C-alpha cells in the first residue's frame, strides 16, 4: 500500500485508541532497516510507524553531506516507493528534535510538506516530533503552539514531549530526576495551550519514569498510573467524563519494560511506542553471528581470497533484516497491534 495519507494515519490512531492497542514506531537509519521494519509489520499483519532521528537523517544523507532535510526527503521518497508492495499501512515520522535543530529539521520539512499538499499531494511525513523537554514548560508549549499551526497547514500530526525521558538518544540527553514524571498540572497546561484537536492533532509523550537506552527490568521505576492521572486531569479541564482519554499518548524509552507495564500504558491511552535500542541489537546480532561463523569466508586469511558469496553484503544483510523483522513482529504482539490491519 502507499505510505499512509493523513486520513489513513488519523484512522490508524483512532483505531488504536478505540481498540486499546499501540503501534511500534521503529527507528531506522538506512534502506535495509526500513525494509526490515516494513517486513516485520507485514508479517505481523499490523500497520506501523517508521521514524528517523536527527542523527539518522544526517546519516541517510551521506557521511560527508550530513544534511538532515536531504536525508529525510530521500528516506521518504524511497519509502513511498517500496511501501507500495506491502499490504499494510506505513506512516513516516521524525523523532526527537530539540530546539537548536528545529530550523534545520522540522520547520523546513513542514514547509516542504505544505508545498506538496498545496500542489495536491500528501505530506512527506505524517508526523514530526518537537522535543521541548530541555526548555521550561511555558516555552515548550509556546513553540508547540507555533509548530502545531504549521503542522495543521501541512496536514501533519505534531508530537510533543511534556516531561523528560532520561538517558541519551542521538545526543539528546535527559537527567534522571523528578522531571521523569509528568504531573497533572503539566497535562492541564498542555490542553490549555494546544486544545483538544481543534487547533490540529497532536500526540503527547508524557513521562512516567522512561529512560532511553539499555536497562534491565526493575532498574528503572516506571509508573504507568501517571498516564491515567494525566488523562483524568485533562478530561476534567475539558469537561469530559472521568473515563475519557483526551490524549493520544506516546511511550518513549521502553527498552526493558515488562509486559505488564506496556499493557497498562496502552490501556491508559498510549497509541505509539518508540522502539530503537532493541531493534538495533536485533539487526546487528545476526551479523556478528554470521561473521564469526563464516570468518574464513569473509576474511582473506593466509593469503587466500575468501568467499565472495559470503562477504557479499547481501548475504549477511538478509540475516540482519530477518532478525530485525522478527523483533518488530514481537513488538506488534506485545502492543496488541498484530492482526489489526483493516
List, by residue number, the catalytic residues: 95
The number of angstroms, rounded, from the C-alpha of 221 to the middle of its chain's C-alpha atoms is 22
| Crossing angle between the packed helical segments 106-118 and 68-82, to the nearest 10 degrees | 50
Interatomic CA distance for residues 247 and 272, integer angstroms = 12
H helices then E strands: how many in the chain?
A: 13, 10
Task: Compute CA 140 distance to the chain's CA centroid, rounded to the nearest angstrom.
Answer: 20
CA distances from 318 to 54, 100, 296 (A): 26, 37, 19
Q: How far apart (Å, rounded) are the C-alpha atoms in residues 52 and 67? A: 13
Minimal CA–CA distance to 277: which of 337, 203, 333, 216? 216
Instruction: Give the separation between CA 270 and CA 257, rounded to whole angstroms.
Output: 14
The SS3 of residue 271 is strand
Helix (H) or strand (E) holding 120: none
User: Is the Cβ–Cβ distance between 251 and 265 less than 8 Å?
Assistant: yes
Four-point Cα dihedral 232, 183, 212, 268, nearest 10: -10
Q: 228, 236 in Cβ contact below 8 A? A: no
Look up residue 146 and give its DSSP letter. H
- 56's torsion region: left (phi>0), alpha (psi -120 to 50) or beta? alpha
CB 133 within 8 A of CB 108: no
Sign of the C-alpha dihedral computed for residues 33, 39, 44 and 50 taken in this order: positive
Amino acid at each position: 500500500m502507499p505510505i499512509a495519507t493523513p486520513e489513513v494515519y488519523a484512522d490508524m490512531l483512532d483505531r488504536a485508541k478505540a481498540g486499546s492497542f499501540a503501534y511500534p514506531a521503529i527507528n531506522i537509519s538506512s534502506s535495509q532497516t526500513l525494509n526490515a521494519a516494513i517486513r516485520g509489520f507485514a508479517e505481523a499483519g499490523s500497520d506501523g510507524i517508521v521514524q528517523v532521528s536527527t542523527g539518522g537523517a544526517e546519516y541517510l544523507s551521506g557521511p560527508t553531506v550530513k544534511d538532515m532535510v536531504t536525508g529525510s526527503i530521500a528516506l521518504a521518497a524511497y519509502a513511498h516507493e517500496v511501501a507500495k508492495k506491502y499490504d499494510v499501512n506505513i506512516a513516516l515520522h521524525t523523532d526527537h528534535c530539540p530546539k537548536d535543530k528545529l530550523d534545520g529539521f522540522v520547520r523546513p520539512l513542514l514547509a516542504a510538506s505544505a508545498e506538496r499538499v498545496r500542489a495536491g499531494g500528501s505530506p512527506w511525513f505524517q508526523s514530526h516530533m518537537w522535543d521541548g523537554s530541555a526548555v521550561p514548560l511555558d516555552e515548550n508549549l509556546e513553540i508547540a503552539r507555533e509548530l502545531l499551526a504549521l503542522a495543521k497547514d501541512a496536514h501533519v500530526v505534531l508530537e510533543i514531549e511534556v516531561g523528560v525521558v532520561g538517558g541519551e538518544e542521538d545526543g539528546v540527553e535527559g537527567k534522571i530526576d523528578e522531571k521523569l514524571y509528568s504531573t497533572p498540572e503539566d497535562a492541564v497546561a498542555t490542553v490549555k495551550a494546544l486544545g483538544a484537536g481543534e487547533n490540529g492533532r497532536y500526540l503527547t509523550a508524557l513521562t512516567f519514569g522512561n529512560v532511553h537506552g539499555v536497562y534491565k527490568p526493575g532498574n528503572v521505576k516506571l509508573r504507568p498510573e501517571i498516564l491515567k492521572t494525566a488523562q483524568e486531569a485533562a478530561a476534567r479541564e475539558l469537561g469530559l467524563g472521568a473515563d475519557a482519554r483526551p490524549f493520544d499518548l506516546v511511550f518513549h524509552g521502553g527498552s526493558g519494560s515488562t509486559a505488564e507495564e506496556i499493557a497498562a500504558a496502552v490501556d491508559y491511552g498510549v497509541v505509539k511506542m518508540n522502539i530503537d535500542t532493541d531493534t538495533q541489537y536485533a539487526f546487528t546480532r545476526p551479523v556478528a553471528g554470521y561473521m564469526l561463523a563464516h570468518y574464513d569466508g569473509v576474511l582473506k586469511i593466509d593469503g587466500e581470497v575468501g568467499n565472495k558469496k559470503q562477504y557479499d553484503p547481501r548475504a549477511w544483510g538478509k540475516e540482519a533484516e530477518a532478525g530485525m523483522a522478527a523483533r518488530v513482529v514481537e513488538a506488534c504482539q506485545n502492543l496488541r497491534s498484530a492482526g489489526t490491519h483493516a
